[in-house]
């Protein structure tokens, strides 16, 4: 095994355990790991911006391909940074106006098409085609979806008073929403457990003989560290 | 009994942490290997890749960061293995800045396993900022969006990208996404106008939100969470991290279900003091 | 003049770009397509600069902590040292990660730290499930039931014990969940379009920031 991989295993296992120590309580190991994460992330993003944006998307096209007009977005980009100078921070509004104006403009027709028209079409089409086949599970599900969409939209329509038929529809809509939230919660639990499984998988790998039982040794050291830290705190607290 | 129930409701949360840790660790160390049923939405992605002739263009956008690696990296490995086995031309990229390293590692790593040559059989474009703007740009002119690939080679000269002017020439796009920009961005700003077929692989957190798009056919298939990755691995006959994690997933889910049921049981039988609903005393100490 | 530049000019820009690119979608003329291509390139460059904003803000916060010597300022030193070290190694590696020190930092520190930070949520979700997830009302009971069906039916052990659990969870996702989610998507999209129109017409100005 390469030395860099071996050392990397020890470092990864150690940092993982530092972060997990938060489960006991907030402590210096966790704080160190947390701030290290912030610093390394910032450094990584700076490098990616430098190479993938400044050099690949700006410097190379301007100097090697003669696309001099890209100096205009570069200037607009610099204006964004004017936000840090209070006297001229208003200049950044020009850049944000371009970003927000373009973003809003491109979004409107695309969202109307994807999220509204196609979704409505997808709801109504199975109903309109239902008469062509004998009524079965597919048709039942299509009706259920239609009922769900309408009742949920009625629930969110707060401009009219929820009375009578509207109130009944809104209450049905709430139950559909509860099922959606329940499904979301169940899947969120699945996601969080999967992340945990991933980290434990790595810790098990780093506990193997190839890595000289890194996870186990570091677990003992971190635990010892926490005990000493607690003892050090007690007289003052 | 009621007093005991009340006491148990106030159990130190660290005891629950130990329970979850054991439920995760023990099945990983001693797996029981139950069969995995494949869902139609995962099979749809698999079948579409199966249907593509050799040499077709497959774009895999790895739109996630290290936080979602356990769920989406196994999906990426399985999809790339399938694509390379089918001799598809693979284009890899990412819309998430901190996912660049992982994306490069998985594409080049799996390609090496199958003896695929960089630039000829596959291309890795790297990262570009802008999310939806990158997709729009690629839809208009792909090589202008990425004039060079991640390694500094001119994309216009790469054999892997021969004949590709924009996303319209791509046969299949799969976005493995942990949020925005992700699958939704690819169909709103991409498929909507440029007409390529789109599949999705997402974290379990956002998977339920994409079923309406699956229902309308806006995405042709959906791989959701580690379970989805396990299903895909089963379809291609591979035993990867997805399948390996399923036993621990089962155990932890059952522990959570048990905790919810116990919580409700203890709540209903414990003595009710006049504690207002939603007050700090009621919700976790 | 200053007031025009500070307040009105940005609103005019928003209006022009917003209307132009909303209409552009329906105009397939080559000039219209070229304009979309070019401006989307511009946006990518501007947004790259905007990312520096976030980094600089964070740097400012930690610098202030070091300068004023507040409790925990030593950790802010950790932020700066690790950031500068990463940048130094990254520049030395030319931004390449394969087989370099920069790649090592990414693979063995960033992956571990960020992965673990989010993995801890698994413990907290379990703790929350025990302490707070109570069926206090009919609606909460429905939510709870849907969650349990999902957690049971989407794992191999659940499907093994109760074979119908898998198809039931699938039906819940594909029908009931789809219905509710579709309603939410349509509602959010309508709201989003309304907000976009308000921004383009200068009714909504919060994105400009400041009081002027």
**Å from A172 to nearest chain C CA?**
10
- Rounded to an integer, the average pLDDT of C139-163 is 93
Contact A174 C190 (CB under 8 A): no
- Rounded to an integer, the average pLDDT of A37-58 is 92
Contact A197 B217 (CB under 8 A): no
The pLDDT score that the predictor gives to residue C1 is: 72
Tell whether the model's pLDDT for residue A56 goes beyond 80. yes
Tell whether the model's pLDDT for residue B166 goes beyond 50. yes
Tell whether the model's pLDDT for residue A45 goes beyond 70. yes
Q: How many CB pairs under 8 A join A and C?
A: 390
- Rounded to an integer, the average pLDDT of B236-244 is 91
Q: Are residues A22 and A44 in the same domain?
A: yes
Other Cβ atoms within 10 Å of A28 Cβ, number: 15
What is the 3-state secondary structure of chain C?
Answer: CHHHHHHHHHHHHHHHHHHHHHHHCCCCCHHHHHHHHHHHHHHHHHHHHHHHHHHHHHHHHHHHHHHHCCCCHHHHHHHHHHHHHHHHHHHHCCCCCCCCHHHHHHHHHHHHHHHHHHHCHHHHHHHHHHHHCCCCCHHHHHHHHHHHHHHHHCCHHHHHHCCCHHHHHHHHHHHHHHHHHHHHHHHHHHHHHHHHHHHHCCCCCHHHCCCC
The pLDDT score that the predictor gives to residue B285 is: 38
Q: Which residues contact A54 (CB under 8 A, 6 or more apart)?
A: C48
- The Cα-based distances of C191 to A111, B112, C19, C194, C201 in angstroms read 11, 48, 18, 5, 15
In chain A, which ranges are continuous DSSP H helix?
Answer: 3-20, 28-48, 60-64, 71-81, 92-111, 118-128, 137-156, 164-206, 214-233
Within a domain: A182: yes
The pLDDT score that the predictor gives to residue A60 is: 87
Residue C161's closest CA among B263, B225, B37?
A: B37
Residue A50 lies in domain: 1-66+212-237
Kindly report the average pLDDT of chain A as a whole number.
91
Q: Which residues contact A225 (CB under 8 A, 6 or more apart)?
A: A29
Report the C-alpha gap between B62 and B71 in whole angstroms: 12
**Å from A30 to nearest chain B CA?**
16
- Dump pLDDT digits (tens) for C40-61: 889 989 988 988 888 988 898 9
Report the C-alpha gap between A196 and B68 in whole angstroms: 11
- Rounded to an integer, the average pLDDT of B246-261 is 93
The pLDDT score that the predictor gives to residue B273 is: 53
- Rounded to an integer, the average pLDDT of B162-171 is 94
**Å from B62 to nearest chain A CA?**
16
Smallest CA–CA distance from A40 into chain B, residue: B98
* ipTM given for this complex: 0.86
Q: Is A65 helix (H, G, I), strand (E, B) or coil?
A: coil
- Dump pLDDT digits (tens) for A131-187: 677 788 888 999 999 999 999 999 998 888 888 999 999 999 999 999 999 999 999
Within a domain: A193: yes
User: Hey, which residues 37-76 in chain B have their CB within 8 Å of chain A?
Assistant: 67-71
Within a domain: C41: no
Q: Could you please report the per-residue DSSP string of A204-237?
A: HHHTSGGGTTHHHHHHHHHHHHHHHHHHHHTTT-
- Rounded to an integer, the average pLDDT of A33-53 is 93
Number of residues that make up chain A: 237
List of chain C residues whose C-beta atoms are within 8 Å of the C-beta of residue A101: 13-18, 21, 199-200
Within a domain: A161: yes
DSSP β-bridge partners for residue B59: B91, B173
**Å from B127 to nearest chain A CA?**
7
- Supply the pTM of this predicted model: 0.90
Smallest CA–CA distance from C132 into chain B, residue: B283
Tell whether the model's pLDDT for residue A25 goes beyond 80. yes
Q: Could you please report the per-residue DSSP string of chain B?
A: -HHHHHHHHT--HHHHHHHHHHHHHHHHHS------PPPHHHHHHHHHHHHSPTT-EEEEEEE--GGGHHHHHHHHHHHHHHHHHTTPEEEEEESSGGGHHHHHHHHHHHHHHTTPPBTTTEEEEEE-TTTHHHHHHHHH-HHHH-SB-TTS-BGGG-GGGTT-SSGGG-SEEEEEESSSSSHHHHIIIIIHHH--EEEEEE-TTTGGGGHHHHHHTSSS-EEEHHHHHHHHHHHTT---HHHHHHHHHHHHHHHHHHHHHHHHHHHHHS---SPPTT-TTTS--
- Dump pLDDT digits (tens) for A187-214: 999 999 999 999 999 999 999 999 999 9
Angle B126-B128-B134 (CA atoms, 0-180°, nearest 5)?
Answer: 120
Which residue has tokens 């000039």?
C31
Report the C-alpha gap between A167 and A158 in whole angstroms: 11
Tell whether the model's pLDDT for residue A126 goes beyond 80. yes
Contact B218 A180 (CB under 8 A): no
Other Cβ atoms within 10 Å of B216 Cβ, number: 18
Other Cβ atoms within 10 Å of B33 Cβ, number: 12
φ, ψ at B238 (rounded to 5°): -120, 145
Residue C112's closest CA among B192, A235, A18?
A: A18
Report the C-alpha gap between B204 and B225 in whole angstroms: 4
Contact B192 A110 (CB under 8 A): yes
- Dump pLDDT digits (tens) for A209-233: 999 999 999 999 999 999 999 999 8
Dihedral, CA atoms, A73, A77, A83, A89, nearest 10 degrees?
Answer: -20
Tell whether the model's pLDDT for residue A74 goes beyond 90. yes
Tell whether the model's pLDDT for residue B282 goes beyond 70. no
Report the C-alpha gap between C20 and B99 in whole angstroms: 34
Within a domain: A62: yes
User: Hey, which residues 176-235 in chain B have their CB within 8 Å of chain C?
Assistant: 193, 208-209, 211-212, 214-215, 227
Across the beta sheet with B89-94, the strand order is B122-127, B89-94, B57-63, B172-177, B197-202, B222-224
Q: Are residues A186 and A231 in the same domain?
A: no
The pLDDT score that the predictor gives to residue C141 is: 92
Q: pLDDT-derived band of residue C198, with 50, 70 and 90 as boundaries? A: very high
Within a domain: C185: yes
**Å from C162 to nearest chain A CA?**
18
Contact A200 B25 (CB under 8 A): yes
Domain count, chain C: 1
Q: Are residues A186 and A234 in the same domain?
A: no
φ, ψ at B30 (rounded to 5°): -130, 80
Q: Are residues A196 and A167 in the same domain?
A: yes
The pLDDT score that the predictor gives to residue B278 is: 59
Within a domain: C107: no
Domain count, chain A: 2
> How is residue A60 written in tokens?
């190379």
Q: How many CB pairs under 8 A join B and C?
A: 171
Q: pLDDT-derived band of residue C192, with 50, 70 and 90 as boundaries? A: very high
Q: Are residues A181 and A224 in the same domain?
A: no
Query: Do residues C177 and B211 touch, judged by C-beta distance below 8 A?
Result: yes
Q: How far is CA A8 from the centre of its chain?
A: 27
Tell whether the model's pLDDT for residue C21 goes beyond 70. yes
Kindly report the average pLDDT of chain B as a whole number.
90
Within a domain: C160: yes
Within a domain: C178: yes
The pLDDT score that the predictor gives to residue C212 is: 45
Within a domain: A18: yes
- Dump pLDDT digits (tens) for C83-93: 999 999 999 99
| Interface contact A156, partner C, CB < 8 A | yes
Tell whether the model's pLDDT for residue B284 goes beyond 80. no
- Dump pLDDT digits (tens) for B35-93: 999 999 999 999 999 999 999 999 999 999 999 999 999 999 999 999 999 999 999 99
Within a domain: C104: no
The pLDDT score that the predictor gives to residue A42 is: 94
Smallest CA–CA distance from B166 into chain C, residue: C37
Q: pLDDT-derived band of residue B175, with 50, 70 and 90 as boundaries? A: very high
- Rounded to an integer, the average pLDDT of B240-269 is 90
Report the C-alpha gap between C100 and C80 in whole angstroms: 22
User: Hey, which residues 242-281 in chain B have their CB within 8 Å of chain A?
Assistant: 244-245, 248-249, 252-253, 256
Residue C180 lies in domain: 120-212
Within a domain: A76: no
The pLDDT score that the predictor gives to residue C210 is: 62
Tell whether the model's pLDDT for residue C102 goes beyond 80. yes
Q: How far is CA B122 from the centre of its chain?
A: 21
């Amino acid at each position: 095994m390469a030395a860099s991989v071996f050392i990397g295993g020890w470092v990864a296992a150690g940092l993982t355990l530092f972060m997990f120590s938060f489960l006991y309580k907030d402590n210096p190991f966790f704080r160190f790991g947390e701030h290290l994460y912030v610093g390394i992330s910032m450094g990584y993003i700076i490098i990616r911006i430098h190479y993938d944006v400044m050099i690949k998307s700006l410097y190379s096209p301007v100097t090697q391909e003669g696309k001099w007009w890209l100096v205009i977005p570069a200037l607009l980009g610099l204006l964004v940074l004017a936000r840090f100078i209070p006297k001229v921070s208003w200049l950044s509004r020009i850049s944000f106006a371009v970003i927000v104006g373009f973003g809003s403009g491109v979004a409107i027709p695309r969202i109307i098409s994807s999220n509204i028209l196609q979704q409505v079409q997808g709801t109504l089409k199975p109903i309109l085609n239902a008469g062509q086949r004998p009524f079965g599970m597919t048709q039942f599900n299509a009706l259920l979806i239609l009922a769900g969409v309408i009742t949920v939209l009625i629930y969110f329509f707060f401009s009219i008073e929820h009375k009578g038929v509207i109130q009944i529809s809104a209450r049905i809509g709430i139950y559909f929403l509860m099922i959606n939230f329940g499904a979301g919660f169940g899947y969120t639990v699945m996601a969080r457990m999967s992340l945990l499984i991933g980290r434990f998988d790595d810790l098990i790998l780093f506990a193997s003989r190839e890595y000289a039982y890194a996870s186990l040794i570091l677990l003992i050291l971190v635990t010892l560290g926490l005990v000493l830290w607690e003892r050090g705190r007690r007289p003052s607290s | 009994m009621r007093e005991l129930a009340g006491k148990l409701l106030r159990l130190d949360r660290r005891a629950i942490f130990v329970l979850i840790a054991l439920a995760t660790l023990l099945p990983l160390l001693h797996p029981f290997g139950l069969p995995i049923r494949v869902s139609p939405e995962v099979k749809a992605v698999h079948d579409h890749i199966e249907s593509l002739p050799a040499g077709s263009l497959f774009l895999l956008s790895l739109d996630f960061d290290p936080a979602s690696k356990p769920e989406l990296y196994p999906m990426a490995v399985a999809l790339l293995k399938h694509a390379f086995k089918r001799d598809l031309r693979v284009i890899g990229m990412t819309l998430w800045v901190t996912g660049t390293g992982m994306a490069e590692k998985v594409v080049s790593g799996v390609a090496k396993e199958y003896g695929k040559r960089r630039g000829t059989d596959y291309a890795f474009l790297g990262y570009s900022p802008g999310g939806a703007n990158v997709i729009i740009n690629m839809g208009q002119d792909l090589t202008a969006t990425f004039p060079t690939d991640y390694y500094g080679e001119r994309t216009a000269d790469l054999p892997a990208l021969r004949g590709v002017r924009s996303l319209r020439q791509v046969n299949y796009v799969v976005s493995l996404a942990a949020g925005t920009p992700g699958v939704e961005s690819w169909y709103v700003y991409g498929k909507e106008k440029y007409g390529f077929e789109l599949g999705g692989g997402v974290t379990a957190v956002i998977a339920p939100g994409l079923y309406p798009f699956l229902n309308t056919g806006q995405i042709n298939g959906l791989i959701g969470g580690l379970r989805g990755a396990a299903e895909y691995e089963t379809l291609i006959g591979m035993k990867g991290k997805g399948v390996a994690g399923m036993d621990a997933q089962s155990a932890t889910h059952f522990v959570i279900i048990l905790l919810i049921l116990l919580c409700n049981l203890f709540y209903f039988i414990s003595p009710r003091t006049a504690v207002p609903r939603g007050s700090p005393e009621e919700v976790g100490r | 003049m200053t007031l025009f530049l500070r307040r009105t000019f940005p609103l005019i820009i928003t209006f022009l770009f917003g209307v132009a690119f909303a209409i552009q979608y329906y105009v397939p003329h080559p000039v219209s397509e070229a304009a979309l291509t070019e401006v989307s390139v511009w946006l990518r460059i501007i947004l790259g600069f905007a990312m520096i904003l976030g980094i600089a803000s964070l740097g400012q916060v930690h610098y202030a902590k070091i300068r004023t010597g507040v409790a925990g300022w030593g950790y802010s030193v950790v932020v700066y040292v690790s950031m500068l070290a990463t940048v130094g190694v990254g520049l030395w590696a030319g931004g390449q990660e394969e087989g370099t020190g920069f790649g090592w930092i990414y693979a063995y520190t960033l992956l571990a730290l960020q992965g673990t930070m989010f993995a801890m949520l698994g413990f907290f979700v379990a703790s929350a499930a025990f302490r707070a997830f109570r069926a206090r009302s009919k609606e909460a009971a429905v939510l709870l039931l849907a969650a349990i069906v999902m957690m049971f039916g989407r794992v191999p052990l659940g499907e093994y014990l109760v074979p119908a659990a898998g198809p039931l969870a699938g039906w819940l996702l594909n029908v009931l969940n789809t219905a509710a989610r579709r309603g939410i998507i349509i509602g959010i999209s309508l709201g989003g379009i309304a907000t976009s129109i308000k921004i383009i017409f200068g009714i909504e100005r919060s994105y400009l920031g400041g009081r002027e």
